[in-house]
Structure 1
Amino acid sequence: MLELRRLRLLLELSQRGTIAAVAAALSYSPSTVSQQLALLEREAGVALTEADGRRLRLTDAGHALAAHAARALALDEEARVALASATATPVVRLAVMPTAAEHLVPPALTLLAADAHPVRVTMAELPPEVALDELAARGFDLVVAEQYPGHARPLREGIERTLLGHDPIRIAVPADDPATSIADLADRAWALEPEGAAVRAWSVQQCRAAGFEPDVRFDATDLVAHARLVAAGHAVALLPDLALVGGTEGMRLLDLPGSPVREVFAATRVSSRGAAAVVRVRQALADAFAALPTPARP
């Protein structure tokens, strides 16, 4: 019989790529991971990994067994969900992007605190790209992420998305800036997310469509930090309304061509989507999003 914990290690290796990454994610030593994978290989009776330079890669049999491992772990999670009703206080591990951590999670927790059924929520602030990987690897139960127009995030087998709401995106400029459109901002200092983020690529495309390459002087994953740079008169930025819930003092908001919006969504594994605690947290996030005020436009 193949041992479920070892199957998880194989699946993690297929997702994370290295023994060291698997060990760090599961709080094991690299030698323990290697030993357990060697035991799994003996149980399977076929080579599951092979050397690729200084790394290990999965063989065809390894990839096939990793796919079966994903299904076995999903069934295990479904069984645990079915038994979770007997748990006094279920735990939901939440990973969110910075703007959600700032303006969405606090009101959602307030709603949950008034619920007759208690749930313990833990939260980590992570970029969507990282959080969605961790969700697939069972590091979290629920992720709040976004996708920008024309930049849909990859669809993953076993992951389900629920739309929380649409978030308009506008140009934020200092209050005394005379610009009336994005085309007027070719010579301004810009605040954007770091290279590699989906929103960075989208924002650069907006500038190029207006005829210029942005002068990016400030890289920050936190869009609230972008807003503060704008309000202090040091930058311009493309900001969704969720980043402006704290107020628009010191800045003006201009419309972008086509009035684009980003989608804010909650992602869960299909195997845990029916868990009562996950459903309650997801609904609280949706209700909190719906109640957010629209930023004033000076």
Structure 2
Amino acid sequence: MDPRRLRLLRELARLGSMQLVADELGVTTSTVSQQIAALAKDVGLALIEPDGRRVRLTPAGRRLADHAATILAAIDTARADLQPGDPAGTVRVAGFATAIRRALLPAIRDLSRDHPRITLRVREHEPPEALDLLAAGAVDLALVYDFTVAPRVLDESLEVLPLWTASWSMGVPDDPGIGRCGADAEGLTAPEVLGRLRERLCIVNSRDTADETVLRLLGSLAGFTPLIAHRADSLELVVDLITGGQGVGLLPQAWPPTPGVRLLPLHDPDVVQRAFVVTRRGHTQWAPLGIVRRLLTDRASADTGVRATAADR
């Protein structure tokens, strides 16, 4: 198999359009089409199929594109070993806002200083959206989270590295209506805390189900079904709804002190958010992506404290 044809297939998997591949590599769309057709003939399988006015990879095409990423990364590594030089390329990242602020923006600063030929393209998305983009080849790396009591099941074709963990609590209005719950919350289990709030409306994320799953699990352990009333992505909006008496919701334990909001700790089971960096297996052999992932994990290792200053999850 010709590496040049494999590169075209990999770029088609990454960009999703023959026109974009042609623009990226400085060739014609006819060349892209002809070379991928020749590659299909080499392997004896259809690699693309019509999708409206565009094309998409077949399952065989997707599988070969994954192999192509590994093969081409190995070739690039060998070339770099023989001809040392600064890696170059554009790495596309999708992730939740806190991870972008906390890990990715510092990485961008590090890249501009140490690897100026590597650029990042950033898209803010909740975990399900980011993982869908990664699976479709629309991004190269995803920043996602889950909770220990509601783990996210990821495909075996993905490589997952931990970034950080953060304890979460129940954010409630700081008013007499909370009753004994606030006074003795330190001695309550998480289900007991939620049980004391069974008459309160709950606020959950509108683009992910992770925190809703947590609340439903804790409610089930307490013998009731939480009343989901509001959905919001921004944690600042969740706080505003809480102070406005509109409900209760999960907040990071390290959320800055806010007038009108009380944080009730959640233990037994602990509610811990876990952040991850996710790539497709084998793809980090491509030097720019491997460097970006290393910068993210190094930043997370150096910054073990949780600073909940982000407006979004």
TM-score of the superposed pair, with normalisation by structure 2: 0.68
In the TM superposition, what are the counterparts of 1:37-186 in structure 2 within 5 Å?
Answer: 44-46=43-45, 63-64=59-60, 66-80=62-76, 83=80, 86-87=85-86, 91-106=90-105, 108-109=106-107, 112=110, 116-118=114-116, 120-176=119-175, 177-179=177-179, 180=181, 181-186=193-198
- TM-superposed deviation, 1:114: 9.4
Q: Structure 1 residue 283: deviation in Å? A: 1.6
Query: How big is the shift at 1:250?
Result: 2.4
Question: Structure 1 residues 248, 115: closer, same or farther in 2, change over 3 A?
Answer: farther
Higher alpha-carbon deviation: 81-90 or 255-264: 81-90
From 233, 242, 245, the counterpart of 1:230:
242
Matches of 1:115 and 1:23, distance apart in 2: 32
Kindly tell me: are residues 195 and 293 of structure 1, through their superposed partners in 2, closer, same or farther at Cα, counting changes over 3 Å?
closer
Letter aligned with residue 210 of structure 1 = A
Shift of residue 90, structure 1, vs aligned partner: 5.4
Name the structure 2 match of 1:15. Answer: none
1:71-91 per-residue CA deviation (whole Å, 9 max, x = no partner) reads 122222344466496347654
Letter in 1 for 2:260: G
Could you tell me how far apart the structure 2 residues matched to 1:46 and 1:90 are?
30
1:171 CA drift (Å)? 0.6
Distance in 1 between the 2:19 and 2:197 partners? 43
Alignment deviations for residues 59-82 of structure 1 (CA, whole Å, 9 cap, x no partner): xxx645542332122222344466
* Number of positions where the alignment pairs a residue of Structure 1 with one of Structure 2: 278
Asked if 1 retains the 8 angstrom alpha-carbon contact of 2:107 and 2:295, the reply is no
1:116 and 1:240, CA in 2 relative to 1: closer, same or farther beyond 3 A? same
Q: 1:192 to 1:78 in 2, by over 3 A?
A: farther
Which one of 170, 186, 197 corresponds to residue 209 of structure 2? 197
- Match in the other structure for 2:274: 263
Identity %: 26
Structure 1's 67 and 149: CA in aligned 2 closer, same or farther, altered over 3 A? same
Letter in 1 for 2:110: L
Distance 2:8 2:308 in 1: 49
Deviation (angstroms), 1:163: 1.3
Return closer, same or farther for 1:79/1:135 CA change in 2, 3 Å cut-off: farther
Question: Aligned pair in 2 of structure 1 residues 111, 9: CA closer, same or farther (>3 Å)?
Answer: closer
Please tell me whether the aligned partners of residues 81 and 272 of structure 1 are also in contact (alpha carbons under 8 angstroms): no
The structural deviation recorded for 1:47 is: 5.3
1:292 equivalent in alignment to 2:303: no
Distance 2:111 2:45 in 1: 51
TM-score (norm 1): 0.71
Indicate if the aligned counterparts of 1:161 and 1:268 stay in contact, CA closer than 8 A: yes
User: What amino acid does structure 1 have at the position aligned with 2:259?
Assistant: E
* Partner secondary structure for residue 67 of structure 1: helix
State the Cα RMSD in Å.
4.3
Task: Look up the equivalent residue of 1:264 and give its one-letter code.
Answer: A
Matched residue type, 1:76? L
Structure 1, unpaired ranges of 5+? 13-20
Q: CA–CA distance in 2 between the matches of 1:128 and 1:42?
A: 37
SS at match of 1:233: coil
